[in-house]
Amino acid sequence: MSKMIEERKLDFIPPSRYDKLDEDVREKLLDYRRLFSKVVRKERKIDNLLKQIDKDKDILKDWKKDLTSKNHFIDHLRKTFYFTCSVVSLTPRPSGKVYHNLTISRRGERPKNCSLGSDDVMLKHLLDYYKGNPKVRKEIKDDGWKVWLKVETNSGKTYLRILDMIMDNPLGFKNETLNRNVLFPLDKKKGKTKK
């Protein structure tokens, strides 16, 4: 019990003597004691929770040590399969057009570039690819295709397609041909998107 609570303790009048008090004073005393009791219970609860937090912190500290000691067993997976993607704008051509690449970066490997084309070409390609998906088409138009593509290639279905390519050929992935047609293939015969 904290010193402040201890000082507010009211036990010099035992309950057996309450009936000697005026009714108004007795009600105020009872109200005070009820509140005092709630404060004591809450303080005990907080003390117990703080003790539990200290125990949990110790457990977490041990788990983190274990995690660090086990990290080297799976670090090769991070090196082989972890990647990030970014959309890079290239220096404008003499024609004034700006072309873009998707750069796939993996730890310990040179970045792999995937040709996307100019703004107009890539936008049209994505809208054709997602012809049957109005929700995605709206996202591409609202966010801009570059912003949308960055999110899509770092956490969407296209991320999983790239991951599958790496998992199927981890060593040879750097030599794979990648461009907008590989990432977003269009079925020209039927005019529909390959899924």
Q: Please tell me which residue, 15 or 2, carries the higher pLDDT value.
A: 15
Q: Using one digit for the tens of pLDDT, what is the confidence trace for 42-90? A: 999 999 999 999 999 999 999 999 999 999 889 889 889 999 999 999 9
Task: Give the mean pLDDT of 82-103.
Answer: 91
Q: What pLDDT, on a 0 to 100 scale, did the predictor assign at position 180?
A: 95
Strands (E), 70-179: 83-89, 99-106, 112-118
- Using CA atoms, how far residue 126 sits from 78, 100, 155, 170, in Å, is 30, 14, 17, 27
Q: What is the pLDDT of residue 32?
A: 85
- Nearest C-alpha neighbor of 130 from the set 152, 102, 163, 97: 152
Q: In this predicted structure, what is the pLDDT of residue 166? A: 95
pTM assigned to the model = 0.68
Report the percentage of the chain scoring pLDDT > 70. 90
Task: pLDDT band for 188, please (50, 70, 90 cuts).
Answer: low
